[in-house]
Amino acid sequence: MPRQVALPPTLPPRLIAREAAAAYVCVSPNTFDDLVARKVMPKPRRLSDKRLAWDVRELDAAADALPYDEETDVLDEGWAT
């Protein structure tokens, strides 16, 4: 579904669909479903009878609460400078 024309193109969405929420936290949709079921990630908001969406602020808070991997001494090469 296209975004509202009235919104500036640089304004990110506040609520995002399941697939986008999974991508946002860098997991597959099935893994995301499991994280939601285990209450690691937040529950979705109900937009209508058939539409659910996740609040990116709640996803950020959940990601911030994830533990660090104490066994990893090397940064992911994607973050190397």
pLDDT per position as a tens digit, 3-56:
567 778 788 889 999 999 999 999 999 999 999 999 999 999 999 999 999 999
Q: Name which residue leads in pLDDT, 64 or 2.
A: 64
Count of domains forming the chain: 1
Collapsing DSSP states into helix, strand and coil, what is residue 15? strand
Q: Is residue 71 part of a domain?
A: no
- Read off the tokens for 50: 């058939």
Q: Is residue 10 part of a domain?
A: no
Q: Is residue 9 part of a domain?
A: no
Note if the pTM is more than 0.75.
yes
Q: How far is it, in rounded angstroms, from Cα 35 to Cα 22?
A: 10
Residues 53 and 16: beta-carbon distance below 8 Å: yes
**Phi and psi angles of residue 52, each rounded to the nearest 5 degrees, phi first:** -115, 155
